[in-house]
Amino acid sequence: MTISDRLGLSDAQERRAARVLQLGLVGLVGYGLVTTRFDIAATGGFALAITLLPAALRREYGYSMDVGLVLWIAVAMILHTVGSLWLYEWFQWYDEITHTVSATIIAGIGYASFRAFELHSDDIDVPPAFRAVFIVVFVLAAGVVWEVLEFSLGGVITVYGIDDIVTDFVFNAVGAVITAVWGTGYVDGLVGFFRRRIRSNSER
């Protein structure tokens, strides 16, 4: 089952929704520039670039990502960017939601990469339990990289302190577990794409 099937929306509806969210990100980038809120402009620009990656993959490699997954990525990106306005400061639970949602995407990418290598190589055969552990570790490692990036760009991206970092890691782990338990089937298409790219590169 794909995300599109689960959401119960047509591809056209999901595509339109993703475009609306991308336009919202463009608007937030513009708002950040006009008001000299460069943290919002930077966050929005980064988020917009992430939402454009599926289109780049389709153009460069002919891979059409599930539209529901594209929409899910756009939802995660706009949640983070909108939070930079004031929601992070006002509502602790909002930060928890955004990190959980984003972690499910990072977990899906990590799982798809690992599974593609496993299917490509006859020497790699791991039990499902280890795959679940890998997903959680991968997301936590990505979280470390992100926190280091936040500190290094402290003048551009707002840093909220040690307590916030600990909370981020907790809900990153929650998102990873959600994907490990229920979400791996939604990235089968991505697994296939990564596997084809690995095969193509190994044949060169």
Alpha carbon distance 53, 8 (integer Å): 24
State the pLDDT at residue 39. Answer: 82
Which long-range contacts (C-beta less than 8 Å, at least 24 apart) are formed by 193-196? 193/57, 193/61, 193/63, 193/112, 193/116, 194/112, 194/113, 194/115, 194/116, 194/117, 195/116, 195/119, 195/120
Residue 141's nearest CA partner among 187, 107, 182 is 107
Residue 186 is given by DSSP the state G
Say whether pLDDT at 144 is over 80: yes
pTM above 0.85, yes or no: yes
Mean pLDDT for 156-176 is 79
8 Å CB contact between 107 and 174:
no
Alpha helices in 52-91 (DSSP H): 53-61, 67-82, 88-90
38 pLDDT tier (thresholds 50, 70, 90)? confident
Instruction: Report the Cα 55 to chain-centroid distance in Å.
Output: 15
Residue 8 is given by DSSP the state T
User: For 68-98, what is each residue's pLDDT tens digit?
Assistant: 899 999 999 999 899 888 887 788 889 899 9
Residue 121 is given by DSSP the state -
Does residue 200 or residue 57 have the better pLDDT? Answer: 57
